[in-house]
Structure 1
Amino acid sequence: MIQQIYPAPDHPYEFELNKDMHFAAAHFIPHVEAGSCQEVHGHTYFANITIGGDQLDDSGFLINFQHIKNLIHKRFDHTLINQDELFSSESNREFPTTEVVAKVMWEIIQSHLDSLPHRPRCLQVFLRETPTSYVIYRPKGRQA
């Protein structure tokens, strides 16, 4: 994998973990202003997940890299994202745009992290849809 530089979130944590992954998926945006993106089409997405925390688990991990891959790659790779229960054709806040997919990925990961006793935080999701287009999702006011 090519080494990449990502915009780094500002945070107070002692540890910062980053997990990179690719997944191939199709989607469509069910809105007239989406133009040709209204048609089903696919991307090889690239995601970088940033997690921060001060405490490590009993294994010495902030979180095991494999857990992040299982949460995201297994769920989205080789799928039609529109069919996932977390997306909808009824509300623009639930269309599978890159912005919304990045936010949903954050929600999936943070939900898992909230179940861990040492409470790490997902600081950002960097999601590249094409070689020239990407989104960064950073939750407002949720770091602590």
Structure 2
Amino acid sequence: MRIAVFRRAHFNAAHRLYNPAWSDEKNQEVFGLCNNPNYHGHNYELEVKVAGEVDPVTGYLIDLKDLKDLIKKEVELRFDHKNLNLDTEEFRNLNPTAENICFVIWNILRSHLDERYDLSVRLYETPRNYVEYPA
């Protein structure tokens, strides 16, 4: 039987959208308030979906405690209450847009999950704005 399980998590982080190759004026034009030189924060909501075949012995697709612990260790502890631009290696040279954050999280989690699982990540930057990978 093929099924999907979901785990929700959250983290709070600050960031600034900025392209160092552009002038301050161009950055302001493109990124607006998100280009604040003093940064700004979001309460990110994360939804992780793992899909695949249920193990006939355990009845689990994946142990949700293991998934919870993975998300806590690899995402929440890494990004929660951090300035993404300044405090994380992942965004030192990558603009921390919601799209890029989502993709980075997907890559981190993918590297720790067995290939038999399909993985998708949905990241809410605000209650009305979210991104998902893969699309």
User: Normalised by the size of structure 2, how large is the TM-score?
Assistant: 0.76
Equivalent residue in structure 2 for 1:84, among 78, 82, 88: 88
Tell me if 1:135 matches 2:134: no
- Alignment of structure 1 residues 1-144 onto 2, 5 Å: 14-31=2-19, 32=27, 33-39=30-36, 40-54=39-53, 56=55, 60=60, 62-63=62-63, 64-66=66-68, 67-82=70-85, 83-89=87-93, 94-113=94-113, 116=114, 119-122=116-119, 124-138=120-134
Pairwise CA distance, 1:36: 1.7
Higher-RCO chain (CA-CA 8 Å, sequence separation at least 6): 2
Structure 2: which 5+ residue stretches go unaligned? Answer: 20-26
Q: How many pairs were matched up?
A: 119
Q: Does the Cα contact within 8 Å between 1:55 and 1:120 map onto a contact in 2?
A: no
How far 1:55 moved relative to its partner? 5.2
CA distance in 1, matches of 2:51, 2:72: 17
Structure 1: 4+ residue segments shifted above 4 A: 58-61
The structural deviation recorded for 1:65 is 2.9
- Compute the RMSD of aligned alpha carbons: 2.3
Alignment TM-score, normalising by the size of structure 1: 0.72
Q: Which residues of structure 1 form unaligned runs of 5+? A: 1-12, 140-144
> Cα 1:15–1:68, aligned 2, differ >3 Å: closer, same or farther?
farther
**Larger radius of gyration between Structure 1 and Structure 2:** 2
Relative to total residues, which structure has the larger helix share, 1 or 2? 2
